Structure 1
Amino acid sequence: MLRPVLDPTSAEWISPRLGGAFGAAGRTVPRGYAAYARLCHPAERDRGGWASWSEAAAETGRRAHGAMQWHALVGSPDPVNLTGSLWRGSPPGRGTLPSHTLTALLALLGDHTSASDAWFGLWEGYGWADEAALSRKHLDAPRLRHPGRDYLLFRGPLTSATELGWRPRPHWFEAQSPNLFWPEDRAWCVATEVDFDSTLVAGEEALVDALVKAPGLEAWRIESDTSLAADGDRINQLP
């Protein structure tokens, strides 16, 4: 079960390890790890079901690669509104992983840490946070501060990552995957930036190899300096 953390001091190791050029993966997930992966959030098809970015690329005549950008993949010059998109379904969600993807990721991450507890960061800007079952003491506690983002902190078993979210109605739970989380032993760190349609994972080589090979997940090996900026896709640029 998730427990609120009121003192962010023990979580302040990440911020000094963030940096690099605009758009670099290392501005979102800490540098200093042996390997990095980008987990692309799946897109929804117009007729139902999920599609990987590789499947979308095959259907739009583009090329899938680690630094691809969704708008370039679907033939749109507009990274925000996706004007002229060749994709008929919905684009990948930003800032959160679908529940089935998060569950699969957690199962894999659990095999690459010896810690029983993990830390979780939730971006403070979600409007529903004040209405969720968060205590006033927690909401008023000091934040974990990163460049451009501040987080509410929690601790608990790794599987409790699925507990974050809110209830718009009594029987309707809207899940929100953690924007930042890592195990007590810091064997890896995962970041889902609020504005990104992909999640970044930093860890050991074996973890990244497992992610890239995992069925049901679409992960690409990247570097901490790989640009994920809107203009970072140099392969699928429009003429």
Structure 2
Amino acid sequence: MMFSPCSDLAAAQWIVASDERWWDLVTLGPTGFPAYARLRFIPDPAYAGQSEREGACQNGALPDDALSESEQVRIAVEVLLQSANSLTEGYLLMWDGWGEDQFPTPVPRTPRVVTPGREYYLCKVSLPDLVSGAVEDSWSAETGHPMPSPAFIWPSDRAWCITADVDPHWAGIGADHAAIDTLLTESRLDVVQVEANEKLPFYQ
């Protein structure tokens, strides 16, 4: 199994049933993890009202060696699989707002996972195949489009969760302390710990 849409939505119930405020849920993930962090795709805003494009660019252009968001997320999944010793079978929630033509044909035929403010398709996935890029390649071959960024990624044992909404310039990560500590030292990524009651940054 590399990737398959799910008609049974039970695997996502722990997210739907979360008592987290919806905005916190879709940006930082469900409650209950010992530690949380942010994977910053671009640096945090330098001042209030800064545009995301300005924050992403150096001298008006993206750095030549900048990793895509997809590449950064795949590295994070790879680190979490190793450090958290989690199961390799996992799940994705894909935001339905990308448009049906962006999805393999069977996906929009399945029921949606509904949270306040967002609706998603649930898919089962091989996490090692996600890390290798094989899932994205298969998706693109079937649709003719790049695979949209998953909104949630987690292993079937729920050892961790990556949450990447379309609005923030970062992805939220919940895991145990050891896994978060390992992510903080991963030189390919810009990861910062989220402290209790921290005001999270957003671009204009």
Q: TM-score range by the shorter chain?
A: 0.7 to 0.9
- Which letter maps to 1:179? A
CA distance in 2, matches of 1:169, 1:130: 7
CA distance in 2, matches of 1:31, 1:107: 22
1:149 equivalenced with 2:108 (yes/no): no
CA distance in 2, matches of 1:26, 1:169: 26
- Return the offset for 1:86: 8.4
Alignment of 1:97-112 (within 5 A): 98-111=69-82, 112=84
- Which one has the bigger helix percentage? 2
Match of 2:185 in 1: 213
CA distance in 2, matches of 1:86, 1:117: 36
Cα pair 1:117 1:157 within 8 Å, conserved: yes
Structure 1 119/169 Cα, relative in aligned 2: closer, same or farther at 3 Å? closer
Structure 1 82/207 Cα, relative in aligned 2: closer, same or farther at 3 Å? same
Aligned length: 193
Cα pair 1:117 1:156 within 8 Å, conserved: yes
Cα pair 1:24 1:227 within 8 Å, conserved: no
* 2:97 aligned residue (125, 149, 174): 125
> Could you list the runs of 4 or more consecutive aligned residues of structure 1 that deviate by over 3 angstroms after TM superposition?
22-28, 78-83, 89-92, 164-170
3-state DSSP of counterpart to 2:111: coil
3-state DSSP of counterpart to 1:174: coil
Cα pair 1:191 1:201 within 8 Å, conserved: yes
3-state DSSP of counterpart to 2:75: helix
Match of 1:114 in 2: 86
Cα pair 1:191 1:199 within 8 Å, conserved: yes
TM-score (norm 1): 0.68
CA distance in 2, matches of 1:117, 1:224: 30
What are the superposed Cα offsets for residues 113-171 of structure 1, whole Å, 9 maximum, x if unpaired? 331300111100102x3254222xx313211112211111111211333424546996x
Task: Work out the percentage of aligned pairs sharing the same amino acid.
Answer: 24
Match of 2:174 in 1: 202
CA distance in 1, matches of 2:85, 2:36: 16
Match of 2:198 in 1: 226
Uncovered stretches (5+) of structure 2, i.e. residues with no partner: none
- Which letter maps to 1:104? I
- Return the offset for 1:193: 0.6
Match of 1:47 in 2: none
What are the superposed Cα offsets for residues 164-205 of structure 1, whole Å, 9 maximum, x if unpaired? 4546996xx624331101001100011001111101100100
1:176 equivalenced with 2:145 (yes/no): no
